[in-house]
Structure 1
Amino acid sequence: MRCASPYSYAVLERLLQEYFPFPRRLLQLHTLVLTSGALLPDPKCSPAIVTAFPYNCLAHAHLRLSAASPPSAPLRLFSAMLTHGARPNRHSFPSLLKSAAASGSAAAAGALHAQCLRRGLASDRFVACSLVSAYGRTGHPARDARKVFDEMEGSPDLAACNALLDALCLAGELEAAGTFFEQMPARDAVSWTTFVSGLSRGGRHRCALEVFRAFLLDNMGRRLEEATLVSVLSACANLDGAEGLMSGMAVHAYVVRHEVEPTAFLGTALVDMYGKHGRLGGCTSAFEFVCKKEVCTWNALLSALANHGKEAEVLVKFDMMRAEGFLPNQITFVALLMACARAGSVEIGLYWFEAMVAEYKVTPLMVHYGCVVDLLGRAGRFMDAIQVIERMPFAPDASVWGALLGACRLYGNVELAVEVGQKLMALGPQQSGRYVTVRNVFLEDGNWQAGVRMGEVMQEAGIRKIVGQSSVVLHGHAIP
């Protein structure tokens, strides 16, 4: 370290303390540190001078500006900290563990846990709570998070309980999460929201609504937070039938009645809820209700319009979105390409697929290729569709082949349908819909023998056609 320079350790610490509330200034200081070498070890200075404080401040700043900083930046700072002889303390690891969770690195979370154990910090409540959360968010088994939780000093506080509840929900262990939720000595809005969100994410949408209703009874007169409203709207959006729509409309009424600020995320949840229930009027109203829209808000509207036969309106709204300065992302182009496919706008769809990469630098995913194959297949351009599949940078999955198979049935292309059907059946798991589609292609072509043979193949493989079912919801219960 350069003790005699204008950027000595003492000066650096003073600047970091002064600008700690301003993360962008801290990142500017990080640049100064890198260019001046202010944190480089100096043999003339005592190693005892080197503390973790500057590294902790800079790591915290990178986390607060996650949109402009890569998730791995705090982890690289940690490596520099160890290299330069600074000793990490209890304030170092929470930021580092959040960085590991943001990057989804299970290996980083495990390595940081080992560092905590080595330095005797793993049982510290502040550190342990961050460890529980990191294990939950990096795909570790729930038992790892539970083990850290059980080894905490003293009785775990509410923050630690919420972290474990979140880890159990993320791991899909909803029964264990429910048991733990009931046993929690105290619960706050975060606890309820975490459980509602976990149930909805696990497909237990009706249970999520029941927990939300219990939350309302347990917190009479308490103003609902945005995160809670977004979580319950997600459950309403994915709950079929009138119950989901009516519950979602009740949440919307609460938002209006209590003058809750219509943020982009709350507005997006409302648009998505109305869209999934086919209420395009509600979609438009909720969209206009949002003052400061984000790309996600536009995406929800475009997806709703594309899924309900408003293809021309998708193109109009897409142009409006770009005119207002919003950059389309991967989700935007899924809705756009889907709309082009259903409208038969082949050339427009192909133009935007190329522009997605060339102009907007958006990397196509499997779903984008599936949309393009569907676009070409619906137009009967089978050779072009096959060329797209052959040029894909990864192996096509069932969604891509399925789109082509649907087009083969539409145009009665039996020869290609058989070839595509074989590829689908080889992918597995064996789903009855793939066999039924190929069988129907044979039957519609008048090839009864091949159709019957396909039925026999299904029977020999133990594959049964899934029978459609319907139910009526009465007093919150589905009756078959």
Structure 2
Amino acid sequence: MRRASPYSYAVIERLLREHFPFPRRLLQLHALLLTSGALLPDPERSAATITAFPYNCLAHAHLRVPSASSSSPPSAPLRLFSAMLARGARPNRHSFPSLLKSASASASASGSAAAAGALHAQCLRRGLAADRFVACSLVSAYGRTGRPARDARKVFDEMEGSPDLAACNALLDALCLAGDLEAAETFFRRMAARDAVSWTTLVSGLSRGGRHRCALEVFRGFLLENNMGRRLGEATLVSVLSACANLDGAEGLAAGVAVHAYLVRHELDLTAFLGTAVVDMYGKHGRLGCCRSAFDAVHKKEVCTWNALLSALANHGMETEALVKFDIMRAEDFLPNQITFLALLTACARAGLVEVGLYWFEAMVAEYKVTPLMVHYGCFVDLLGRDGRFVEAIQVIERMPFVPDASVLGALLGACKLHGNMELAVEIGQKLIALGPQQSGRYVTIRNVYLEDGNWHAGARMGEVMQEVGIKKTVGQSSVVLHGTVIP
């Protein structure tokens, strides 16, 4: 026989209202309500007297507490929704935003899209899809789940009246996440009003899509459109610094230095988020002195801050310093992650520290429980190949849990050229061509291998093959920046 809960519905609502500002307390209260049976269906209680408030409140609490630091899984709000329906409570306009955010946070893209679609159907069934608050959440959810941008656009177009700024920003974000950057730029230009979120969204989307110069142009437009007296937000600054970091040449560095000067001039603190962006920007451009200074200026460092410094040192000839900094990082109780170990293995490979690199690759899996990615295996193969241990390198490739890509095979090809293993180099080169038959660099690499081995006939034949399939060698280009303008 079901034991009655000692908590009345009025008591539950009062407790939730009192502790709403403290999400961790709400999660503790949720556990108490579950163990007491207060949230189970009660046939003796009229469904009309049960409101959605407790379920909405608890769902919101689960989203406010990061799942990495609590026992709250991303699907908890969806399970609360099922319990709400089972108990007869009617979802309202405050129910679905938390549910849609939870659905879009699913680890599986297909699962999150299916959950968002099911929740959309629930909104339509209950006549809530036209609500501006719910519709805006639907647009954001479709953007995050990887669904085509037309799904988010359809919800946006069906909103009653003129969409407000929040809805426009949600659709802009959905277009950027879907990679439809031309549509995003067109929609941005047509927006009746724009705020810092609008500009930051477009800058971030363009940078993610590899259009870093366009991202900088948009940022300059932000500065010119009556925003000179307004403090730039952290998210905006991080987005533009990312674009500066990934834009090759003097233009990217000059823009990055200007953004850093803005931070200094306005005495903005280098938080872990913002400081990491500055460190990464200087690191990508090889300015290690500025990189170290920016790192030291970050008061509350996170693992990502250390990773930016380690990557900069490993990729610009300071491999020994990278290893020393890694030891300091561990001594300060920072837990290395996949990016940390990539920087570490890169440093070991470039410094020729084979045994050190092999030790840390094994420790990464056995001691730190970090799952190696393709790039880690590429470093591992590079370590073995540089030491001439081709048999072991091939064994590693054969035992990988996935098919090797160009980075892994390219690492082995480089080692073959280094040690003069021409037979294996040709074999690996043929596999690389199969992976990317239209990439001229791979044909040129194999041709050079033949020529270095003195096989002039095979080298000439490779050039003929390129002509037969219509592949041309990529022509080198250079440019200069004059008064902020790139001149080819």
Q: Shorter-normalised TM-score: what interval?
A: over 0.9
Corresponding residue for 2:236? 228
One-letter amino acid matched to 1:137: R
Alignment deviations for residues 327-370 of structure 1 (CA, whole Å, 9 cap, x no partner): 11111111111111101111111111111111111111111111
1:377 corresponds in structure 2 to: 385
CA contact (8 A) 2:5 2:37 kept: no
Task: Judge conservation of contact 2:41–2:86 (CA < 8 Å) in 1.
Answer: no
> Superposed, which structure 2 residues align to 1:289-304 within 5 Å?
289-304=297-312
| 1:403-429 per-position Cα deviation (integer Å, ceiling 9, x unaligned) | 111111111111111221222222235
**Cα distance in structure 2, aligned partners of 1:413 and 1:4:** 77
Q: 1:2 to 1:153 in 2, by over 3 A?
A: farther
Question: 2: distance between equivalents of 1:458 and 1:81?
Answer: 65
Is structure 2 residue 360 aligned with structure 1 residue 352? yes
* SS of equivalent residue, structure 1 residue 152: coil
Aligned to 1:73: 76
TM-superposed CA distance for 1:474, in Å, is 2.4
The answer to whether the 8 Å contact 2:6/2:36 transfers is no
Selected match of 1:116 from 123, 141, 145: 123
Q: Secondary structure at the match of 1:160?
A: helix
Whether 1:211 and 2:211 are equivalent positions in the alignment is no
Matches within 5 A, 1:195-344: 195-218=202-225, 219-344=227-352
SS of equivalent to 2:317: coil
Q: Secondary structure of the residue that 1:140 maps to in structure 2? A: coil
Please give the secondary structure, in 1, of the residue aligned with 2:328.
helix
> Partner amino acid for 2:127?
G
Give 3-state SS (helix, strand or coil) of 1:30's partner. Answer: helix
Task: Tell whether 2:137 aligns with 1:127.
Answer: no
Q: Is the 8 A contact 2:144 2:174 kept in 1?
A: yes
Match in the other structure for 1:445:
453
Alpha-carbon distance, 1:50 to partner: 2.9
SS at match of 2:105: helix
How far did 1:3 drift? Answer: 9.1
Query: 1:315: how far off?
Result: 0.7
* 1:165 CA drift (Å): 1.0
Q: Is the 8 A contact 1:2 1:8 kept in 2?
A: no
d(CA) in 1 for partners of 2:246 and 2:445?
A: 27
Q: Please tell me whether the aligned partners of residues 2 and 40 of structure 1 are also in contact (alpha carbons under 8 angstroms).
A: no
Give 1:41's aligned residue: 41
1:411 equivalent in alignment to 2:419: yes
Whichever residue aligns with residue 413 of structure 1, its letter is N
Q: Within 1, Cα distance between the matches of 2:476 and 2:321? A: 32
Q: How much does 1:4 deviate? A: 4.9
Quote the residue 2:193 is aligned against.
186
Segments of 4+ moved more than 3 angstroms: 1-4
- CA offsets per residue over residues 99-126 of structure 1, 9 Å max, x none? 1222252222212111111111111111
Superposition pairs of residues 100-111 of structure 1, within 5 angstroms: 100-103=103-106, 104=109, 105-111=112-118
Is the Cα contact below 8 Å between 2:276 and 2:305 reproduced in 1? yes
Residue identity opposite 1:96 in structure 2: L
Q: CA deviation at 1:461?
A: 2.1
User: Hey, what does 1:83 align to over in structure 2?
Assistant: 86
- The residue aligned with 2:177 is 170
After alignment, is 438-447 or 458-467 more displaced? 458-467
Deviation at 1:49, TM superposition (A): 3.0
Q: Once superposed, what is the RMSD of the aligned Cα atoms?
A: 1.6
SS at match of 1:463: coil
1:456 deviation in Å?
2.0
What is the CA–CA distance in structure 1 between the aligned matches of 2:125 and 2:484, rounded to whole Å?
Answer: 53
Comparing 470-479 and 118-127, the one that deviates more? 470-479
Note the C-alpha offset of 1:466: 1.2
Deviations 1:436-479 (A, max 9, x none): 21221111111112212222222222222212111122233322
1: distance between equivalents of 2:272 and 2:199?
22
Asked whether the 8 Å contact 2:130–2:158 carries over to 1, the reply is yes
Q: Give the Cα separation in 1 of the matches to 2:235 and 2:438.
A: 39
Q: Structure 1 CA distance, aligned partners of 2:392 and 2:194? A: 58
Alpha-carbon shift at residue 276 of structure 1 (Å): 0.9
For residues 36-69 of structure 1, what are the alpha-carbon distances to aligned partners after superposition, in whole Å with 9 as ceiling and x for unaligned?
2211112222222332222211111111112333
2:384 & 2:88 partners in 1: Cα distance? Answer: 61
Distance 1:316 1:88, change over 3 A: same
Any residues of structure 2 matched to 1:132-151 within 5 Å, and which? Answer: 132-151=139-158
SS at the partner of 2:210?
coil
Query: How many residues align structurally?
Result: 480
**2-side partners of 1:123 and 1:285: how far apart?**
52
Given that residues 378 and 407 in structure 2 are in contact (C-alpha distance below 8 angstroms), is that contact kept between their aligned partners in structure 1?
yes
Segment drifting more, 389-398 vs 203-212? 203-212
Partner SS for 2:89: coil
1:95 equivalenced with 2:98 (yes/no): yes
Unaligned residue ranges in structure 2 (runs of 5+):
none
Whether the 8 Å contact between 2:4 and 2:37 is mirrored in structure 1 is no
The TM-score, its normalising length taken from structure 1, stands at: 0.97
**CA distance in structure 1 between the aligned counterparts of 2:428 and 2:211, rounded to whole angstroms:** 35
Letter in 1 for 2:398: E
How far 1:83 sits from its partner (Å)? 3.0
- Do the aligned partners of 1:458 and 1:464 also contact (CA within 8 Å) in 2? yes
* Aligned residue in 1 for 2:31: 31
Question: Is the deviation greater in 287-296 or in 450-459?
Answer: 450-459
Q: Partners of 2:191 and 2:3 in 1: how far apart?
A: 52
Secondary structure, aligned partner of 1:473: strand
The answer to whether the 8 A contact 1:3-1:9 is kept is: no
1: CA distance, partners of 2:88 / 2:430 = 61
Partner Cα separation in structure 2 for residue 8 and residue 384 of structure 1: 67
TM-score between the two structures when normalised by the length of structure 2: 0.95
* 8 Å contact kept, 1:106–1:139: yes
- Aligned partner of 2:181: which letter? L
**What is the distance in 2 between the residues matched to 1:354 and 1:7?**
53
The question of whether the paired residues in 2 share the 8 Å contact of 1:409 and 1:437 is answered with: no
Tell me how far apart the structure 1 counterparts of residues 475 and 222 of structure 2 sit (CA, whole Å): 37
Worse overlay, 379-388 or 234-243: 234-243
The alpha-carbon deviation at position 206 of structure 1 amounts to 1.9
